[in-house]
Amino acid sequence: MNLLKLLCQELNELGVEATLDEYGYVMGRIPSNVDEDVPAIGFIAHVDTAPDASGENVKPQIISNYDGSDIPLKGVPGLVLKTSEFPELLAHKGETIITTDGTTLLGADDKAGVAEIMDAVQYIMAHPEFKHGPIRIGFTPDEEIGRGVVKFDVEKFDAVYAYTMDGGEVGELEFENFNAASAKIHIQGCNVHPGYAKGKMRNAILIGQELNSLLPALARPEHTEGYEGFFHLISFKGTVEEADVAYIIRDHDRAKFESRKEMMEKVASFINEKYGAGTATLVLKDQYYNMREQVEPHYKVVEVAMKAIADAGVEPKVQPIRGGTDGANLSFRGLPCPNIFAGGLNFHGKFEWVPLESMEKASQVILNILATFAAGA
C-alpha cells in the first residue's frame, strides 16, 4: 500500500488524474489530445512480488557495459549468475545489467513494468505535442497470489483495450496463457507408538509421498516447455498424524486441463480406497483460464502491439505465457488484455535480472502503441 500511495501521488504530481481505492488499486486517466474518436487504451502492472523468495531490503547490483562474463552475486559468497546456466545474458553484452545481490529477489516482476509505465507517463505529460487518445493507467496488488484483479473495477477503468507490462525477455508478446487450478490435499494418518505400530499406523507423510508418486513424473515444470502442461508440487508439510500437500495444475489446452484435474481426483480417490474414506481430502479451485479465446476476436490489439514492438527496433516474439497475468482474468471480464515484455528474466528467484535497455524499449513500446491507435490503427 505504501508503494501504491507513492505511485498515486507521483501521478497526481505529474498532472494525471489518479485515485487509490480501499482495495489497493491505483487508476489514472489522461484525456485524449486529438479530435478523432480513438479507443481508450490501458496499461497495467502489479506492485507485489513473488512469495518464492524475499523481496525485503533489496540490494541491486548495477553492471554497466556488461562484458559477457559470469556475475558474482556478492551478498552470498559463491553464488554466481553464470552464462553457462543462463546463456541469455550473452545477448545483452554492452548493456547495463541489474541483478540481485543473491540475498533476495530483484522485484523486476513487476516493478520493471511499473517503472516503464511511469516513464512513459512522464514523457507524455512533458510533451504535449505527442498525440494520443484516452489513456488509462492501472497498478494492482496481489497478482502473484492469483488475486490481482479480484476487486478491479473494469467499468471504472473504462478502457476498450489494455496491456499488462508483465512479460519477460525483450520482444515478447503474449496473448495466450495457462488454464490454472490449485489443488490442496489434506492427508489424515493414524499415529501409534512406533513400538506397537504394526498393522495400525498410517504415516501421513508416506501416504502423501505415495500420492505424489501416482502423478506422471515427466509432467512436472522441470520437464516441460512450450504448450506442455504440468502438476507442480509447491508445498508439503506434515507429521505422521496428518499432512498437507499443495499443487498448482497448468495446461494451455482446456480439455487437457480438465483431464489433469480429473487425474488429481482419481489419485485422491485411490488413496481413500486403499487407506479408508477420509484419508485424502482434496480441494480443487480454478484460478484463471487461457485468455486466447477472449483476445483473438479482437486481434487488432495484438497486431498493434506487434507493430509497436517492431517500431521500437525489436523483433516481436509472439509466444504463450507459461504462467498467468492480471490480463487473463481481465480478458474474461470484457477487457482484452495481452501481455508485453517488461524485460526481466529468472523471475521469482535470487537469480533475477533485467537489462536497463530492455526496460527503455518497453517504455517506447507503450508510446508506440498509443501513437499507432491515435493514427487510426
* Contact by Cβ (8 Å): 104, 120: no
Question: Residues 6 or more apart from 247 whose CB is under 8 A from it?
Answer: 182, 183, 184, 185, 231, 232, 233, 234, 264
Q: What is the pLDDT of residues 227-246, one digit of tens each?
A: 999 999 999 999 999 999 99
Q: How do 41-46 and 135-140 pair as beta strands?
A: parallel
- Considering the domain architecture, whether residues 262 and 323 belong to the same structural domain is answered as no
CATH number of the domain to which 199 belongs: 3.30.70.360
Which residue, of 253, 288, 323, is where some domain finishes?
288
Mean pLDDT of 334-352: 95
Encode pLDDT of 299-328 as tens digits. 999 999 999 999 999 999 999 988 888 999
Residues 21, 159 within the same domain? yes
Percent of the chain with pLDDT over 90: 93
Q: Which of 256, 288, 320 is the last residue of a domain?
A: 288
CA 310 from chain centre, in angstroms, equals 23
Residues 136 and 38 in one domain: yes
Question: Cβ neighbours of residue 14 under 8 Å, at least 6 residues apart?
Answer: 121, 122, 125
Cell for 171? 520482444
Q: Print the domain residue range for 283.
A: 179-288
85 counts as catalytic: no
3-state secondary structure 103-145: CCCCCHHHHHHHHHHHHHHHHHHHCCCCCCCCEEEEEECCHHH
Map grid coordinates 518497453 to a residue: 362
> Within this chain, do residues 152 and 37 fall inside the same structural domain, yes or no?
yes
| 168 and 260 within one domain | no
Q: Which of 247, 267, 288 is the last residue of a domain?
A: 288
* pLDDT tens-digit readout, 38-81: 999 999 999 999 998 999 999 999 999 999 999 999 999 999 99
**Spatial CA neighbour of 49 closest among 40, 58, 61:** 58
Residues 203 and 164 in one domain: no
Which of 98, 93, 110 minimizes the C-alpha distance to 351? 98
SS3 string, 162-224, reads: EEEEEECCCCEEECCCCEEEEEEEEEECECCCHHHCCCCCECHHHHHHHHHHCCCCCCCHHHC
345 and 300 within one domain: yes
Q: Of 298, 356, 313, 346, which Cα lies nearest the Cα of 41?
A: 298
**pLDDT higher than threshold 90 for residue 161:** yes
Of 55-64, 169-178, 324-333, give the lowest mean pLDDT range: 324-333
Residues of the chain with pLDDT > 70, as a percent, come to: 100
Contact indicator for 23, 136 with CB cutoff of 8 Å: no
Asked if residue 83 and residue 98 are part of one domain, the reply reads yes
Mean pLDDT score of the chain: 96
User: Based on the domain organization, do 172 and 187 belong to the same domain?
Assistant: no
Contacts from 355-360 at CB under 8 Å and sequence distance 24+?
A: 355/66, 355/92, 355/95, 355/96, 355/97, 355/98, 355/170, 356/95, 356/96, 356/97, 356/98, 357/92, 357/95, 357/96, 357/170, 358/92, 358/95, 358/169, 358/170, 359/112, 359/115, 359/116, 359/119, 360/119
pLDDT in tens, 274-296: 999 999 999 999 988 999 999 99
Query: What's the CATH code of the domain at 26?
Result: 3.40.630.10
Q: Is 110 a catalytic residue?
A: no
In a shared domain, residues 156 and 13: yes
Q: What's the maximum distance between 2 C-alpha atoms anywhere in the chain?
A: 85
201 lies in the same domain as 272:
yes
Q: Which of 143, 169, 326, 352 is catalytic?
A: 143
Q: What is the pLDDT of residue 52?
A: 86
The total domain count for the chain is 2
The cell for 7 is: 505511485
Both 230 and 300 in one domain: the answer is: no
Asked whether the beta carbons of 189 and 203 are under 8 A apart, the reply is yes
Where is 242: in which H helix or E strand? strand 242-251
pLDDT beyond 80 at 208 = yes
Note the pLDDT of residue 160: 97
| pLDDT of 377 above 70 | no
